[in-house]
A and B are shown apart, each in its own frame.
Chain A
Amino acid sequence: MIDEELARRVIAEALSRGGDLADLFVERRSSYNLRLEEEKVEDNSSGSEVGAGVRVIRGESVAYAYTNDISEASLLETARVAAAASRGGKTVSIYLERPLESLPALAEHVVELDPDTYPREEKIELLRRADRAAREAGPHIVQVVAALGDSRQEVLVASSLGEMVRDTRVRVRMVVQVVAASDGEIQTGHETPGMLAGYELFRLFPPEQAGRAAAEQALTMLEARPAPSGPMAVVIANGTGGVLFHEACGHSLEADAVFKKASVFMDKIGERVASPLVNAYDDATLTNRWGSFCYDDEGVRAARTPLIEGGVLLGFINDRKRSWRDGTVATGNGRRQSYRFVPVPRMTNTYIDAGDAKKEDIIADTPLGLYALKLGGGEVNPVTGDFIFSVTEGYMIRDGKVAEPVKGATLIGNGPRALQDIDAVADDLDFDTGMCGKDGQAVPVCTGQPTLRVREMVVGGTTEVM
């Protein structure tokens, strides 16, 4: 897209009025989206996008400018806008006197069935397979929406640190949403298989499986009774349950929140912040996982970062600015939605690691509680750690057995307190895909966890415990 010499000139222009660090991010993205609804192919859309952003960092201040025009003249002009915005007139601490060094492109996440050459007819058939499997689940299934998206994102990052990297990310994801209705009651279910890979995704996750699982979830919830309210033990199933850790703790482990004193984990490195059963990681190197990459959006090599081990807080995830300002190691978590955004510290694939217990034993050991099989999204206040999550598929646990399904349940609590209250962790680690939002930017992430139990959490429902 851009050669080393032009990148060097753009960065030099960006630093022409001073600054500590400057970088250039160039992106070319093509994407294809399909949507099957009411058994009709409705959305059949492809697009291509090109853009570049220039950033100048001076102390804690960042100036950023972007454009869709990546011609030489436009890139230099964009650099001048960023330079002018970063006024203040301090001397340049790092300047580019030698040529940029290109690091080798890496091929750690192999793509077998390339989205660009995979036939459109086949893509449509994948959606039809998910749709049929969902509709075959029973007469109460009234609506199925199956959507498929693939994208190829080629990025180039060059910085005044003297390096230039390229990374190509091919991603495919399917979203199946099923609506079931009976006697005026409406319930929904959904599944979202996705990978940093090509269409071989569906060998591992056949569309029928996604369709059936989403349908069964909706049908189960049709039979559900209103959830009870009040404090009780909560067993959170593996896979989607990881979203709780992501939201309630993960965001508070991002170094920008810590810097702004907007994190419950501020000043707690080396302290016990969780039950000794808890080991947690952020790992962008997991092969072909939805949240993985080779280099982050600032050109830092992807890494596996320990967050908590044995219940002790080990570190935070950061971006270039925070690692440089805080004097810590860059963890490779500087991510952005696209060239239109300034990179900020973001999670990649974040998970609580497997323990030794068996799921069956954990449930058998719970006299009364809630079994949260699927969690929807949630929200957290990073300053206080208070969170709320909706349970999209939940059951009561009575006398050590999974009992009746319940609907309308939410989990309400506090991240650090819930971490301390984890009293059992199973050996069945699994992952789920999501799009994480922060500062108005969405990036692909995986959340993961094994089955685990929190001694007590407040369940918000519409009835009293019986």
Chain B
Amino acid sequence: MEKAAGLQALALQWMEKGRSLAGAGVELEIFLQEHRGLSVKAFGGEVESLRYSHSRGVGVRALREGRIGYSYCTGLAWQDVERAVEEAAANSRFSTPDEHNILPGPGVYPSEDLGIYDAEVEEEDSGRKVEMALELESLTLARDRRISQVETAVYADSVSQVAVASTAGVEGYYRHSDCYCYVFPIAREGEEHQTGFSFGLGVKPSDLDLAAVAEDAVERAVCLLGSESMASRRTTLILDSFVAAEFLGVLAAALSAEAVLKGRSFLAGKTGEAIADPLVTLVDDGLLKGGPSTAPFDDEGVPSQRKELIKAGVLQGYLHNTYTASRAGTVSTGNASRGSFRDRPRVGASNMYLLPGTGSRSDILRQVGDGVLVLQVVGAHAGANPISGEISLGALGLLVEGGEPVRPLREITLAGKALDFLRDAVALGGDLRFLPFEGSLGAPTVAIEGVMVAGRGQARS
């Protein structure tokens, strides 16, 4: 791995070389990313796959009279970067000018430790990491006799470095480590099988509690055995924290100022309005200590920050990068986001989460009395539309009567509008948990009243 100072110096050096290459009148931004990772998949007591990755890439943004051009390349040699600078400058000639296309200026980055890197990831022996994947599989199998097998058990970690430098004065560097594990057990009884899932997440291997992950995943699979559909009805939904976090993905997309400005958000024009029950406060915090998406600055070098997007039910504002902020006449919220060096910065959530309430899931069930506890949804990508806010998903879960789960449910669907879900939220638990897969979204157990649940049984109103 390149030395910290080395990578940052490289970004600065190329920005200077690129500046003279592209000539006067072209502003440049160099985004440099280096990534090393290990991932281990266990299956049947053996290592199914062991993957080492090492990638390095550069993204170049060129700005000429309000026109943006972008290019990227792999490798870290000047001749590769040189071509990318030329391409980005050439591409900019063909873009439509827009006065709001500007590169951000220098910012002041937090000096405190954000808890996003731990050398243990690099120091821990890879043999121990392989054992962790195998151990996760065996712990899961041993947990319950109805677990017939484990479809996948994974341990993975990575260390990445990011350096940004621009002709507008941005100059930043950080290093980030993460490690996670997840497992998909299959529970069987007779002809029926159900799958479960759980994961652990941290900045170093010792953050992962394999036994807890195995227990949670097994519980989620076996509790669904014996499931049937139910008659269609309007009822109270109790969303498990994983499911609630998945639903936040719809909000994250709709809260992007890019979607709002371009007519692609059901939350457009609603700032200052009460869009949710007063129980609901939604936070996006790029500085959350040890958070999965925490960094000193965003993907165009603007300092990260914490903001409340929905405060006690009232919509406060949207997520902005430099471009959307200029268009909306405000300042960037530090939410420029790119998938990798291959992508130009767009808008994305950092660590977005619902402020938790109090009580365990059981407490919420007792409070609600009768309803459906949703443990898994299927079709979240297709069935939850962040533009229209319409949600229509398949689900698995437990029927709840008198505050207790009474039987497992499958082949049911939930349908409604995201805004109705927000307005009809009636309880939030204290069990906040982050989901690592859609950026970094966190939610506790959430109960929502009056949702249409459809099933195979005879319909009733």
Asked, given contacts A43-B344, A45-B70, A60-B48, whether A379 binds B232 with beta carbons under 8 Å apart, the answer is no
**Stretch of B23-31, B117-125, B279-287, B387-395 at the chain-chain interface:** B387-395
B56 contacts which chain A residues (CB < 8 A)?
Answer: 68
Mask of B1-39 contacts with A, CB within 8 angstroms, 1/0: 000000000000000000000000000000000000000
B46 on the A face (CB < 8 A)? yes
The docked-state distance in angstroms from the alpha carbon of A419 to that of B83 is 52
Tell me, rounded to whole Å, the shortest Cβ–Cβ distance linking B301 to chain A. 19
Instruction: Establish whether residues B43 and A464, one from each chain, have CB atoms under 8 Å apart when the complex forms.
Output: no
Which A residue sits closest to B379, measured CB to CB? A388
A133 on the B face (CB < 8 A)? no
A390 on the B face (CB < 8 A)? yes
Count residues on chain B whose CB falls below 8 Å from chain A CBs: 77
A145 contacts which chain B residues (CB < 8 A)?
Answer: 262, 264
Q: Which of A41, A66, A342, A463 contacts B94 (CB 8 A)?
A: A41
Instruction: Establish whether residues A458 and B53, one from each chain, have CB atoms under 8 Å apart when the complex forms.
Output: no
Q: Which of A63, A69, A380, A407 contacts B390 (CB 8 A)?
A: A407
A46 contacts which chain B residues (CB < 8 A)?
Answer: 70-71, 87, 91
Which residues of chain A (56-79) have a CB below 8 Å from chain B?
A: 59-69
**Stretch of B104-112, B164-172, B362-370, B448-456 at the chain-chain interface:** B448-456
Asked, given contacts A388-B379, A410-B394, whether A458 binds B49 with beta carbons under 8 Å apart, the answer is no
The docked-state distance in angstroms from the alpha carbon of A47 to that of B392 is 37
Asked, given contacts A49-B74, A68-B74, A262-B186, whether A41 binds B393 with beta carbons under 8 Å apart, the answer is no
Which residues of chain B (366-381) have a CB below 8 Å from chain A?
A: 378-381
B445 on the A face (CB < 8 A)? no
Interface size class of A (residues with CB under 8 A): 35 or more
Asked, given contacts A64-B51, A410-B415, whether A44 binds B70 with beta carbons under 8 Å apart, the answer is yes
Which residues of chain A (176-190) have a CB below 8 Å from chain B?
A: 179, 181, 185-188
B321 on the A face (CB < 8 A)? no
**Which of B52, B343, B455 lies at the interface centre, i.e. has the most chain A CB atoms within 10 A of its CB?**
B52
Q: Which of B46, B50, B344, B454 contacts A45 (CB 8 A)?
A: B344
The docked-state distance in angstroms from the alpha carbon of A37 to that of B327 is 15
Add 18 more A-B contacts to A342-B49, A464-B232 (CB < 8 A): A44-B95, A47-B71, A49-B72, A60-B48, A63-B51, A67-B55, A69-B75, A120-B94, A145-B264, A186-B266, A229-B232, A261-B149, A340-B53, A386-B378, A390-B383, A412-B394, A460-B415, A462-B452
Q: Which of B73, B264, B266, B455 contacts A458 (CB 8 A)?
A: B455
Q: Could you tell me which A residues sit within 8 Å of B by CB distance?
A: 37-51, 59-69, 81-82, 85-86, 120-121, 124, 142-143, 145, 179, 181, 185-188, 229-231, 260-262, 340, 342, 376-381, 383-384, 386-390, 407-410, 412-414, 458-465
Instruction: Establish whether residues B87 and A384, one from each chain, have CB atoms under 8 Å apart when the complex forms.
Output: no
Q: Which of B75, B264, B387 contacts A68 (CB 8 A)?
A: B75
The docked-state distance in angstroms from the alpha carbon of A135 to that of B455 is 39
The docked-state distance in angstroms from the alpha carbon of A262 to that of B188 is 11
The docked-state distance in angstroms from the alpha carbon of A86 to that of B52 is 12
The docked-state distance in angstroms from the alpha carbon of A37 to that of B415 is 30
Tell me, rounded to whole Å, the shortest Cβ–Cβ distance linking A84 to chain B. 9
B305 on the A face (CB < 8 A)? no
Tell me, rounded to whole Å, the shortest Cβ–Cβ distance linking B94 to chain A. 5
Instruction: Establish whether residues B151 and A383, one from each chain, have CB atoms under 8 Å apart when the complex forms.
Output: yes
B98 on the A face (CB < 8 A)? yes
Which A residue sits closest to B77, measured CB to CB? A69
Instruction: Establish whether residues A410 and B416, one from each chain, have CB atoms under 8 Å apart when the complex forms.
Output: no
Which residues of chain B (82-113) have a CB below 8 Å from chain A?
A: 83-84, 87, 91-92, 94-96, 98
The docked-state distance in angstroms from the alpha carbon of A145 to that of B54 is 35
Q: Which of B91, B149, B194, B454 contacts A260 (CB 8 A)?
A: B149
B454 contacts which chain A residues (CB < 8 A)?
Answer: 229-230, 412, 458-461
The docked-state distance in angstroms from the alpha carbon of A377 to that of B378 is 11
Asked, given contacts A48-B83, A142-B263, whether A231 binds B193 with beta carbons under 8 Å apart, the answer is no
Which B residue sits closest to A407, measured CB to CB? B390
Instruction: Establish whether residues A50 and B91, one from each chain, have CB atoms under 8 Å apart when the complex forms.
Output: no
Instruction: Establish whether residues A379 and B263, one from each chain, have CB atoms under 8 Å apart when the complex forms.
Output: no
A387 contacts which chain B residues (CB < 8 A)?
Answer: 378, 394
B342 on the A face (CB < 8 A)? yes
B262 contacts which chain A residues (CB < 8 A)?
Answer: 37-38, 143, 145
Instruction: Establish whether residues B392 and A390, one from each chain, have CB atoms under 8 Å apart when the complex forms.
Output: yes
Q: List, sorted by A's number, 12 A–B pairs whose CB atoms are closer than 8 Å.
A: A42-B96, A44-B68, A44-B94, A46-B71, A47-B72, A63-B51, A82-B52, A186-B388, A384-B195, A387-B378, A389-B382, A460-B414
The docked-state distance in angstroms from the alpha carbon of A50 to that of B71 is 14
Tell me, rounded to whole Å, the shortest Cβ–Cβ distance linking A45 to chain B. 4
The docked-state distance in angstroms from the alpha carbon of A229 to that of B389 is 19
B48 contacts which chain A residues (CB < 8 A)?
Answer: 60-62
Tell me, rounded to whole Å, the shortest Cβ–Cβ distance linking A406 to chain B. 11
The docked-state distance in angstroms from the alpha carbon of A459 to that of B80 is 53
Which B residue sits closest to A124, measured CB to CB? B94
A465 contacts which chain B residues (CB < 8 A)?
Answer: 459
Per CB-CB distance, the 3 closest pairs between chain A and chain B, nearest first, are: A460-B413, A388-B394, A377-B382
Tell me, rounded to whole Å, the shortest Cβ–Cβ distance linking B192 to chain A. 8
The docked-state distance in angstroms from the alpha carbon of A462 to that of B393 is 11
Instruction: Establish whether residues B96 and A410, one from each chain, have CB atoms under 8 Å apart when the complex forms.
Output: no
Instruction: Establish whether residues A61 and B394, one from each chain, have CB atoms under 8 Å apart when the complex forms.
Output: no
Instruction: Establish whether residues B456 and A231, one from each chain, have CB atoms under 8 Å apart when the complex forms.
Output: yes
Which B residue sits closest to A32, measured CB to CB? B91
Asked, given contacts A60-B43, A61-B49, A342-B49, whether A388 binds B72 with beta carbons under 8 Å apart, the answer is no
B411 on the A face (CB < 8 A)? yes
Tell me, rounded to whole Å, the shortest Cβ–Cβ distance linking A460 to chain B. 3
Instruction: Establish whether residues B382 and A63, one from each chain, have CB atoms under 8 Å apart when the complex forms.
Output: no
Instruction: Establish whether residues B344 and A262, one from each chain, have CB atoms under 8 Å apart when the complex forms.
Output: no
A49 contacts which chain B residues (CB < 8 A)?
Answer: 57, 72-74, 342
B92 contacts which chain A residues (CB < 8 A)?
Answer: 44
Q: Which of A44, A63, A376, A407 contacts B91 (CB 8 A)?
A: A44
A82 contacts which chain B residues (CB < 8 A)?
Answer: 52
Tell me, rounded to whole Å, the shortest Cβ–Cβ distance linking B411 to chain A. 6
A262 contacts which chain B residues (CB < 8 A)?
Answer: 151, 186
B192 contacts which chain A residues (CB < 8 A)?
Answer: 384
Which B residue sits closest to A48, measured CB to CB? B73
Which B residue sits closest to A85, measured CB to CB? B50
Q: Which of A47, A64, A231, A414 contacts B49 (CB 8 A)?
A: A64
B44 on the A face (CB < 8 A)? yes
Asked, given contacts A44-B94, A229-B459, A458-B455, whether A61 binds B378 with beta carbons under 8 Å apart, the answer is no
The docked-state distance in angstroms from the alpha carbon of A456 to that of B383 is 21
Tell me, rounded to whole Å, the shortest Cβ–Cβ distance linking A132 to chain B. 15
Asked, given contacts A45-B70, A377-B382, A407-B390, whether A412 binds B94 with beta carbons under 8 Å apart, the answer is no
Instruction: Establish whether residues A458 and B46, one from each chain, have CB atoms under 8 Å apart when the complex forms.
Output: no
The docked-state distance in angstroms from the alpha carbon of A176 to that of B56 is 32
Instruction: Establish whether residues B387 and A186, one from each chain, have CB atoms under 8 Å apart when the complex forms.
Output: yes
The docked-state distance in angstroms from the alpha carbon of A227 to that of B271 is 31
B69 on the A face (CB < 8 A)? yes
B161 on the A face (CB < 8 A)? no
Q: Which of B50, B96, B264 contacts A61 (CB 8 A)?
A: B50
Asked, given contacts A260-B43, A464-B461, whether A340 binds B55 with beta carbons under 8 Å apart, the answer is yes
Tell me, rounded to whole Å, the shortest Cβ–Cβ distance linking B179 to chain A. 16
B46 contacts which chain A residues (CB < 8 A)?
Answer: 59-61
Asked, given contacts A46-B87, A65-B52, A410-B413, whether A388 binds B71 with beta carbons under 8 Å apart, the answer is no
Mask of B344-355 contacts with A, CB within 8 angstroms, 1/0: 100000000000
Which B residue sits closest to A47, measured CB to CB? B72
B47 on the A face (CB < 8 A)? yes
B138 on the A face (CB < 8 A)? no
B320 on the A face (CB < 8 A)? no
